[in-house]
């Protein structure tokens, strides 16, 4: 079971946005007469999946039927599906909308696209993928690697000049590959991979490229995200400078009250 979980995990998160919507429409077309209008027999789900290990989160579409989950990323290697309990344990799906096969076909014909079909899903899709240059010092690690990994524990014991020399060598005139960052509801900008790149830029007080995988502030409002982004671009840390108590930020007014700015 552990090997199955690791194998499925390696297939899914890399390309979860793309062909998943057309794939579930194709499956709806091929559903049986008994499945066509019965949500308990055949369910198309639109929502979000989150890798329980890396924390990476993406919008996705999948089919549930007969206790199994079917999606584009695993359809060629797991044509008979993935056990639902395994899938849900690994990705804790957050379902935004559910459709029968019939509703899937109707929505596809009416909208002229395979999905998404609601304003909420469209907005969520649009807010993902934004690329920015930000001060590295305002980022945080989702995994806590700097605190827990022996490599970084030993690194912190090095004299400051040795740390800076390492950073200058590693930074090498700039970092081109962006970090994948999630913006949480408390305003934190967190990454799971790229700790060497991030640490080098932090030590040198440099900017670093990021691509946002999910932005929970922008999902509330563009104005809230623009306000918060302006503050972090000034080098203010989301946790230490702006929101040390870690309160969830729901509105622009909440943010202004928290920061006093």
What gap in Å lies between CA 167 and CA 161, rounded to an integer? 10
Task: For residues 254 and 135, state if they share a domain.
Answer: yes
Residue 149, pLDDT score: 92
Higher pLDDT, 19 or 49: 49
pLDDT grade for 126, boundaries at 50, 70 and 90: low
Task: For residues 11 and 110, state if they share a domain.
Answer: yes
Poorest-confidence range of 105-109, 124-128, 210-214, 248-252?
124-128
Mean pLDDT computed over 194-221: 91
Mean pLDDT computed over 60-78: 91
Q: Which of 112, 79, 98, 96 is CA-nearest to residue 38?
A: 98
CATH of the domain at 211: 3.90.1530.30
Q: Output the 3-class SS for 16-56.
A: CCCCHHHHHHHHHHCCCCCCCCCCCCCEEEEEEEECCCCCC
Q: Please identify, among 126, 157, 184, the residue that sits at the C-terminal boundary of a domain.
A: 126
pLDDT tens-digit series, residues 85-119: 999 998 889 999 999 999 999 888 888 888 888 76
Range of the domain at 47: 2-126
Decide: 121 and 220 in contact? Cβ < 8 Å. Answer: no
Spatial CB neighbours of 160, under 8 Å, sequence gap ≥ 6: none
Task: For residues 96 and 154, state if they share a domain.
Answer: no
User: What is the torsional sign of CA 215, 213, 147, 133?
Assistant: negative
What gap in Å lies between CA 70 and CA 103, rounded to an integer? 18
Q: Give the CA angle between residues 154, 159, 163 to the nearest 5°.
A: 75
Tokens of 107: 């929505």
Tokens of 49: 């999946």
Q: Please identify, among 111, 126, 141, the residue that sits at the C-terminal boundary of a domain.
A: 126
pLDDT tens-digit series, residues 20-42: 889 999 999 999 999 999 999 99
Query: How many structural domains are present in the chain?
Result: 2
Residue 101, pLDDT score: 94
Task: For residues 6 and 62, state if they share a domain.
Answer: yes
Task: For residues 252 and 223, state if they share a domain.
Answer: yes
- Cα 127–chain centre separation: 11
Residue 52, pLDDT score: 80
Residue 258, pLDDT score: 92
Task: For residues 104 and 160, state if they share a domain.
Answer: no
Mean pLDDT computed over 151-155: 95
Task: For residues 139 and 242, state if they share a domain.
Answer: yes
Residue 125 above 90 pLDDT? no
Compute and round to an integer the Cα radius of gyration of the chain.
21
Task: For residues 120 and 135, state if they share a domain.
Answer: no
Task: For residues 255 and 135, state if they share a domain.
Answer: yes
Task: For residues 157 and 76, state if they share a domain.
Answer: no
pLDDT tens-digit series, residues 44-64: 999 988 888 777 777 889 999
pLDDT tens-digit series, residues 165-194: 999 988 776 777 889 999 999 999 999 989
Task: For residues 217 and 97, state if they share a domain.
Answer: no
Task: For residues 102 and 73, state if they share a domain.
Answer: yes
Q: Please identify, among 91, 108, 126, the residue that sits at the C-terminal boundary of a domain.
A: 126
């Amino acid at each position: 079971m552990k090997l199955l979980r690791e194998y499925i995990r390696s297939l899914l998160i890399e390309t979860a946005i793309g062909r998943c919507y057309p794939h579930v429409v194709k499956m709806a077309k091929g559903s049986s007469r008994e499945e066509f209008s019965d949500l308990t027999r055949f369910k198309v789900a639109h929502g979000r999946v989150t890798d329980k290990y890396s924390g990476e989160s993406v919008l996705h579409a999948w089919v549930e039927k007969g206790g199994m989950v079917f999606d584009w990323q695993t359809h060629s290697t797991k044509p008979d599906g993935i056990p639902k309990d395994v899938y849900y344990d690994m990705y804790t799906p957050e379902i935004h909308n559910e459709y029968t096969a019939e509703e899937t076909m109707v929505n596809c014909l009416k909208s002229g696209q395979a999905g998404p079909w609601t304003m909420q899903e469209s907005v969520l899709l649009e807010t993902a993928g934004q690329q920015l240059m930000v001060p590295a010092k305002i980022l945080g690690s989702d995994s806590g690697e700097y605190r827990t990994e022996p490599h970084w524990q030993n690194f912190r014991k090095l004299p400051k000049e040795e740390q800076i020399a390492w950073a200058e060598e590693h930074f090498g005139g700039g970092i081109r590959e962006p970090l994948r960052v999630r913006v949480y509801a408390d305003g934190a900008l967190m990454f799971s991979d790229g700790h060497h790149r991030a640490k080098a830029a932090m030590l040198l007080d440099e900017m670093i490229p990021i691509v946002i995988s999910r932005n929970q502030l922008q999902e509330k409002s563009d104005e809230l995200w623009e306000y918060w982004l302006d503050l972090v671009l000034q080098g203010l840390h989301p946790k230490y400078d702006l929101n040390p108590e870690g309160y969830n930020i729901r509105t622009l007014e909440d943010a202004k009250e928290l920061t006093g700015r």
